[in-house]
Chains A and B, each alone.
Chain A
């Protein structure tokens, strides 16, 4: 018996120790699992963050490479322009050089004649070289040579030559000759397919460079072109489409920091973003047109300066031979302007239509108004173009505005940590907060319900009962029964702790989600207010355009003669 007791004491200690170490082991594993779980969540978050950073890095790297490439290429293109057409530069500089030298009488006529002949040899096929010969022959009173050279120039490029002589004769105050040259130039034009250099003529018209007769002819011609084009079926639609593209080129992206909660928690955000960007365009367009229309035009010191400016533009910007390289240069400069964003630059380039060989008169007006730097239009011409296009701009703007208004999201979807809801203007805050809390409560209850005793615990309970029953016949089994009971009890205690932990986690999550929801709703209210404010600016564009009168933008700053109205 004594040996039995000592055995039973020894067994009890062993079992107690084993159970204790088992419990410690279970708790340890449980803690480890919790730790691993939270680490997995952290790692997932970090990984997502890393993926985002990597994607940003790749995007940035691509943009930088594209930018570097564009910067290198643009230098090459400019070098090529210089190498291939650099000798034209010399001829071009001579034009105004000769005219100004003759003005002040500092250069001998023979020198002028000799130098122009050299250029004729150096620049074959170039229309300007015979023009220079003709000009110097004219200055030397050599009519025969002047006529011959002029005919050669007309053969090489009749449009540019006509315009060139219209300007040169105007510079020399030969009104009749200038008017005749302009008539010849107009006779060569088709309003549906004009060359880009016509900007020089429009600049001359809007800056009051031509004489009264030529100015009136010019005005009449422009009106007849517009009326001819207007009668064409589909003209209005074509104009609208043209102007819509031009106006859309002024769209600006929203600041990255705008509405961070809506951006993070609303699937509707892309639509909200594009609607707001579309509404902001009203202010941009108003500012753009107001700035142009309000800019003061400083007249050139004299007619000679004004014509020289136009001659420089005519001879240096519009040679078709150079057009492919000029196109490359423009595209590359757009890529640089967009910090390497190739796709956007390509789209902008395609929409510009500024470097096409031939375009319609109304497309030219659009280009002058919206892309003056590429189309080489002066301020006066920009004002004139806006004034003449005002009805088309208005229609295009009305359509753009209506399209934007039609796409404003009425319902804004929200999604915060598996909860989804919908608001229109943030006024259903209470309802959404309560929905979020209910959702969290349901998820909490579900998570708590998943925290259950394991099979081992139930087995221990069953074993404890069986051992207790057996203990009446074999008393030491009570010890097993006690051990099993203790195991079951400690499991039960652990469950409660885990349930408390789950409840605490959900309390924190619910609080954070509620803060996010309130922030997103506050941003919804701000978004609606900002949209309404920006959208109301649409009327500014209409009012500005309505206030423009085309007549006030045709200037006459260089001659005092009044135009006779026929």
Chain B
């Protein structure tokens, strides 16, 4: 069994950042095409369920919800270093009008809902059209690519 990256029982305080010091240092860091191969792997059901319930709690997302989401992401990619994680997630918003999409920004630790016509932050805006497509559950935004995740966990990659 894999060693957990973050031992949440050691402290009552919730640490919101994914600190490099918490990551196992004895593993080989995936890079380049090996990293691409890893990020193309099918996503797990737990991960997809975790991400898709992003707007279940309403417009305001609590701190603990965001923490839970970040933990879900960490569990999905235990072999990646924090610098290799996605920078955010965009998905369709089911809160109803006027909201159309929402984003989880992992740098700022915030979930934000966007109305129709409202611009997303520059790093996320390129994935907005794709997020609205019914075929994809959500879009993972990386520095150099977008990864569209389908309901069955399949991943499609858009470089650039």
Contact = CB atoms under 8 A, between A and B. Distances in A.
Contacts of A234: 32-34, 36-37
A176 interface: no
A-side binding surface: helix, strand, loop or mixed? helix
Nearest to B30: A233
B127 A406 contact: yes
B157 interface: yes
B37 A402 contact: no
A233 B154 CA distance: 20
A406 B37 contact: no
Contacts of A236: 33, 36-37, 40
Given A233-B33, A405-B135, A399 B157 contact: yes
B156 A237 contact: no
Contact of A402 (B34, B36, B148): B148
Contacts of A360: none
B158 A403 contact: yes
B34 A405 contact: no
A405 B40 contact: no
A397 to B, nearest CB: 9
Given A405-B133, A406-B129, A408-B129, A398 B156 contact: yes
Contacts of A406: 126-127, 129-130, 146, 148, 158
B34 A233 contact: yes
Contact of A233 (B37, B126, B148): B37
A237 B36 contact: yes
Question: Interface size for chain A: under 10, 10 to 19, 20 to 34, or 35 or more residues?
Answer: 10 to 19
A240 B157 CA distance: 10
Interface in B95-129: 126-129
Contacts of B146: 402, 406
With a 10 A CB-CB cut-off, give which of B32, B156, B157 has the most chain A CB atoms.
B156
A402 B40 contact: no
Interface of A: 233-237, 240, 395, 398-399, 401-403, 405-408, 410, 538
Interface of B: 32-34, 36-37, 40, 126-130, 133, 135-136, 146, 148, 154-158
14 contacts: A234-B36, A236-B40, A237-B36, A398-B154, A398-B156, A401-B135, A402-B156, A403-B158, A405-B133, A406-B146, A407-B129, A408-B129, A410-B128, A538-B135
Q: 9 smallest A-B Cβ distances: which pairs? A: A234-B33, A402-B156, A398-B156, A406-B130, A402-B148, A233-B33, A405-B133, A233-B34, A236-B37
